[in-house]
Chains A and B, each alone.
Chain A
Amino acid sequence: MESKVSENIRINAANIAHKELNSMVKQAVMRGVKRIELFNVHGQRYIGTDIFEPVEITIEGTPGNDLGAFMNGQRLLVYGNAQDGSGNTMNGGEIIIHGHAGDITGLAVRGGQILVRDDVGYRAGIHMKEYKEKKPVFIVGGTAQDFAGEYMAGGVMVLLGLNLEPGSKHNSRYIGTGMHGGIIYIRGDFEDYQLGKEVGVAELDEADIKQLSGLVNIYTGHFGGDATSILNGKFKKLYPRSLRPYGRLYAY
């Protein structure tokens, strides 16, 4: 008689080092487990890395740096805040963070979706990129600290500014510095000096509104809120003024 593998397991991460925890997860996935719940997570790194099945991992606690690094098609749900480097060079899948996320969240992301309910730290989405059908999406419910979208080369980033006090502006400076691809949709006020030199500002056209509407609905689908009233806010589109800003820097 064939033994049936349990579809779900729960793992207590208390006092377990990151290598051990990640190998427990990997072994469970290799046994055929589809949903893994980790609880008491306290800073273990690289959760979601090195897994080749489309599983869902729920994380209660504070996952460590490089959450979902190089991930390819898994789904991570974080009930807590994330630290630095979540989604590092992720190729596909979803990271959904019910809290805030630290610096360099979504660095060099190549595909998939990152959703952060609240704020993100410095250099969010630094060097995100896209290629053909691989087009990463990074949605932030709150605001970002400096250098959001730095060296951005592709994909879509959304800053919803939902937690900004009425009358206050986004705090981020150097938004999109070095940007040469992709799009940032930003809701709420900012000054021109907060943008990198390579960034252009435009109103949204119909195609933008259609795309944005889908993204906001994804956000509210996870975190709640009224998509229509969010979409009624004041949005601007930030785009790269050149796809090759420094092509002639070293050429005479």
Chain B
Amino acid sequence: MALDDRKSQFTFVGTSPDRPDGLDKVTGRAKYGADAYAPGMLHGAILRSPHAHARIVKIDTSKAEAHKDVKAVVTRADFAKVPFKPGLEGEFWNVLENVMAGDKALYDGHAVAAVAATSALSARDALKLIDVEYEVLPHVTDVDKAMAPDAPVIREGAADYSVPEGMHPNVVRYHESGHGDVEAGFAEADLVIEDRFVTEATHQGYIEPHACLASLGNDGKGELWCTTQGHWIAQKTCAALLGIETAQLRVSASEIGGGFGGKTTVFIEPVALALSRKANRPVKIVMTRSEVFRATGPTSSASMDVKIGMKKDGTISAAQGVFRLQGGAFPGAPGDLTAMCAFAPYNLTNVKQTGYDVMSNRPKQAAYRAPGAPMAAFAVESVIDEMCNELGLDPVEVRLKNAAHEGTKASFGPRYERIGLVETLEAAKAHPHYSAPLKPGQGRGISCGFWFNHGGETSVSLALSEDGSAQLMVGTPDIGGSRASMALMAAEVLGIPYENIRVTIADTATLGYNDVSHGSRVTYASGLATIKAAHHAVEKLCERAAAKWGIPVDAVKWENGCAVPSGSNAGDFDPMPLADITADMGSTGGPISGHFEATPEGAGVSFGTHIVDAEVDPETGKTSITRYTVIQDAGKAIHPSYVEGQFQGGAAQGIGWALNEEYVYGEDGRLQNSIFLDYRVPVASDLPMIDTVIVEVPNPGHPFGVRGVGETGIVPPLAAIANAVSNAAGVRMRQLPMSPPRILAALKGNG
């Protein structure tokens, strides 16, 4: 339900007008990453390691360089030669190592060299002329095997302060938190269940592959066009990796065909810039789908042990979890976040969570909406479901009984401010879906989910035109409808129609720094900045009106798009519309703009509850999702149909992750399913209609009450679907994906 029937204190916020990018997208006019061209442009291609783990003994590029169509060849030697020096350490060094291998190829698909040629075909052909001599090393791709004492070491010295002594060098980060006494809590329980759960890596599966057009001269000045969730981080990272000044590289974000966290870093962009610098011509690189799968960030895979104690009345007396995540051949798997999110929905006296970040010979993991949280929910919510079944308790009532609320001490430490979990559970209980009868062979699953949300560095600029329209420049690429939301929030403050505001994603040369579009931060942080920038412009509009009327500025207020006297003592003047003030602004003090730059710190956490019905075919093991309802707290839905889209998108991606999607590695450590034919994402015919309920418990940290909604929607689906499938099949499913062969095996194992 899209809130159309609700009354509101807002005029524009809470309505769902047409999207401003709609016409361009349906007519093919929108320019994506691969839609840029430049005079004299070359095409780049990247040579990738066929080995999961190998020392690079020698790279001979001479034959490729001699090819008539080849204008440049680069290897690691062509990047900033400053390993581990200040400015290129930590994550910058990891990213450099990932975009172009150094001494070792660390996973199947790791870039080892690149060429730029006059055509894409010539570039790909020229890759075959590069001779790489490898010394193949033992590899490991499984998280548990990577932690075992005999596992090959991926990189010595990568572990930080947090790792306890005696652990394998592949364990690079360790997290432990919680409160109370879990052993005492388990002793109080009437039922204790401990279980092990496993999830495979999945890819964000954005339809648009990575693509860019780069130009970099020997003067250190460059231009980069790319598909990205954050062009300032692309600017900063590329500048560091190429040893140039940040401000000399201008980066523009293209329209983006999906990101979901996977486009929050760089892959091909520094390579294209290095090729361009060497060839002295613009270079375009477009990844193939296979390259996207092999060399860009999938999620972590996970192995998890969860133990929960419950009293007969459903009270959880203790909860404990161990979460092991592999994040590829680099530190960064979100074992800490997995642990911190695992029990966050519940009000627990005794809780303990442990997370491990483990390296393996796989591509560097990247965020995928609420990184790490969906796996934790799968394990925890599965155990809770099993306990409800054993104790004969209603799964929503049990969650309500234990639900966190304002003032609850969170499993990760602090007390919650105002949160909306209970409201989502009450809405689930009241929803017709929850009481609808199931057919034979069907099962129902429930799950809650939690995500932190984020603020981040944000700059917004708003400029008024003489005719009273407005241009709004934001720096957060629009990955989920944010241009519409920004225009609605600006319209609300300015009091002019939504249609009169054009929102542009500014490039790095025309606006101050902006953090990546991640962490569900855009509607929150860019929205807050938009509201403040609009208020800034309104202050100036009031000043101009006051000057025209000859009254003090504090005697003027802004109402419904007009300056009006603030009271009867201020004078008797007709309301002065915005367009009357902007019409002659050039001669009454100059252009009128509003700005805001800050790092808002009040994102407000978010919760959701999902209800899923599934039907399992016992002969084939195929699962059908027959009904799906997403209930989530949005704080305040600025553009309700976009909010619904985020909810539905999370459910759709969750269905893929739960049922079919997985990275399949062979014994040789090579990825076996690097195309969409073999890596099965859900298509329209796999999905039911996905109902939504938008709960609105305002976030105290946002002027309109917004909470981010982009990530929480991916947290409950794995668990809710697993619970539905387990209840339908009559056997607990502890491993994802629940593909037909796994379901058949589980049914067989269950007799």
Whether A associates with B in a native complex is: no
